[in-house]
Amino acid sequence: MRRTRTLVALSTAVSALAALAACSGGSSGGSGSSSSAYTFWDPYPQFDASAPWAKLVQSCGQKAGVTLKRTALDTTELNNKALLAAQQDNLPDVMMVDNPFVSTLVSAGILTKTSDLHLDTSAMQPNIIGAGTVDNSAYGIPIGANTLALYYNTDILAAAKVDPSTIKDWASLTAALQKVKATGKKGISFGAIGTEEGTFQFLPWFWGAGGDLTKVDSSQGVAALSLWKNWVSQGLAPNDVLNNTQTTSWQEFATGQYAFGENGTWQLANAKKAGFKYGIINIPGINGGSAPVPTGGEFVTVPVQKDSSRYAVDAKIVSCLTSNTNSLSTDTTLSYIAPVAAVQQQQVQQDPSLKPWVSALAAARGRTSNGLGTKYPVISQQLWTAVQSALSGGASPQAALAAAQKAVDNHQN
């Protein structure tokens, strides 16, 4: 199987890359010519060679009968390096990529279908594998997934006489924020920074209102942006949400002054060290129920190789990294939820605090799912631009989203 897409496709992919930032968090490698030396890239530079993750990668290479050379890069660097390596015919054998980047690599002709590798994805949760599916074909195996929910400060809610179990929709959440403010505490912290992180944080409210990313200026989208705008205007959320990343938003919640913090699975370890009692609830939809939340997490993929004989070993490596046994230990370490229901149940048995995250992921969506693919980065950039415009007072929510939709239409036409 040879890559036949042109460098024009790769150039387009490079420009799309700027809008894709991960919600996760060496020397170069390449496919090379040695049959016993295989290369593997991942976006986990925080794990050195002594970490359990690095040891798992090494052991999977050994089980496949090869030496597996690991290169760890941060997500943005890995994405850029992948596109450059494709132009130079120097892609690794196996590569882990952030899920919204999968469709960009597919459009550039870089990835191999899992079906061509004889990898079985039937046990994967459909909405999780969906983030790496293009035209009904999967192009990788999810290592796990993370997503968003609402952390809450138990003592602050108790002092405000708010029972978190009564928060079922936007009205009850806003009423809770108002009660908290009346006690002198702060309401909710979230990240509305003008990057992919801002879109990632906004999507549960956008989707929870019934919004559709193919029409960002719908009445549902306006309702979601108006909710955030009203919270900031009424002092229920701080003005600095405009500059908040998910990290700085968490730091605000961790001060113990905020009733709620919208954040991800990856903050669980920090929550346990925060020094106050906390709980977690799903982000509510406008009229009740759990709002759809975006899936974060990486896919283990196999780039297209000039030497097709390498695929058999590549498939063994992928199967090892994503096996149920390894998934249980890996996802728990990475604070990911496994993509397979049976493993999710084992995770919850080991750590009951993961239960609300399993529930949240049941309602989750891939950002590039439903055929959006490489259209998503453009939509996302315009969406976070609209959020910034509305929250800063530059435009009304309706005007900001109308401008966003116009920009998307102009780009696609």
pLDDT tens for 1-60 read 333 333 344 444 544 444 454 454 433 334 444 457 899 999 999 889 999 999 999 999
Cβ count within 10 A of residue 163: 10
Q: Could you tell me the two tokens for 136?
A: 């009904």
Instruction: Please give the pLDDT value at position 7.
Output: 38
Only one residue has tokens 């042109």, namely 6
CB 58 within 8 A of CB 39: no
3-state secondary structure (DSSP) of residue 260: strand
2 found inside a domain: no
User: Domain range spanning residue 199?
Assistant: 148-293+372-412
Whose CA is closest to 95, among 114, 79, 118?
Answer: 79
Q: What mean pLDDT, rounded, does the chain reach?
A: 90
- Residue 224 counted as domain residue: yes
Q: What is the mean pLDDT of residues 346-363?
A: 91
Q: Given this model, what pLDDT does residue 3 score?
A: 38
Query: Among 33-47, 231-245, 335-349, which stretch is predicted with the lowest mean pLDDT?
Result: 33-47
The dihedral over CA atoms of 170, 164, 283, 177, expressed in degrees to the nearest 10, equals 50
Tokens read off for 311: 């695929």
SS in 3 state form for 273-295?
A: CCCCCEEEECCECCCCCECCCEC
**How sure is the predictor about 400, in pLDDT bands with cuts at 50, 70 and 90?**
very high
Provide the residue type at 88 as one letter: Q
CA atoms within 13 A on the CB side of 132: 31
Is 68 domain-assigned? yes
The answer to whether position 1 is within a domain reads no
Name the percent of the chain lying above pLDDT 90: 80
**Mean pLDDT of the region 301-309:** 94
Q: How large is the average pLDDT for residues 172-180?
A: 98
Tell me the three state secondary structure of residue 73: coil
Task: Write down the pLDDT at residue 26.
Answer: 34
**34 lies in the same domain as 124:** yes
Do 42 and 103 belong to one domain? yes
- What is the C-alpha R_g of the chain? 21
CB of 380 within 8 A of CB of 19? Answer: yes
Digit-coded pLDDT (tens) for 130-139? 999 999 999 9
Let me know: does 226 contact 397? Beta carbons within 8 Å: yes
Residues 341, 390 within the same domain: no
CB atoms within 10 A of CB 350: 11
CA distance 56 to 40: 12
Same domain, 65 and 153: no
- Between 144-158, 287-301, 352-366, the lowest mean confidence (pLDDT) is in 352-366
pLDDT of residue 21: 45
Whether 150 contacts 282, CB under 8 Å: yes
What does the pLDDT average to over 230-249? Answer: 96
Residue 301 shares a structural domain with residue 240? no
Average pLDDT, integer, range 268-275: 92
CA of residue 217 relative to chain centroid, distance: 23
Query: Does 273 reside within a domain?
Result: yes
The residue ranking higher by pLDDT, 267 or 29, is 267
On whether residue 274 sits in a domain, the answer given is yes
Give the per-residue pLDDT at 23: 53
The CATH number assigned to the domain holding 128 equals 3.40.190.10
Number of structural domains in the chain: 2
367 in any annotated domain: no
Q: Are residues 332 and 210 in the same domain?
A: no
Identify whether residues 141 and 152 lie together within a single domain: no
Does residue 157 share a domain with residue 184?
yes
* pLDDT (mean) for 363-384: 91
**Band of pLDDT at residue 269, cut at 50, 70 and 90:** confident
* Pairwise CA distance, residues 97 & 145, whole Å: 12
Q: Does 284 lie in the same domain as 155?
A: yes
pLDDT in the model for residue 129:
94
Give CA 2 to chain center in angstroms.
30
Q: What is the mean pLDDT of residues 349-376?
A: 90
**59 and 89 belong to one structural domain:** yes
Q: Is the same domain home to 94 and 185?
A: no
Q: Is residue 204 in some structural domain?
A: yes
Q: Are residues 115 and 134 in the same domain?
A: yes
- Average pLDDT rounded to a whole number, residues 244-273: 95
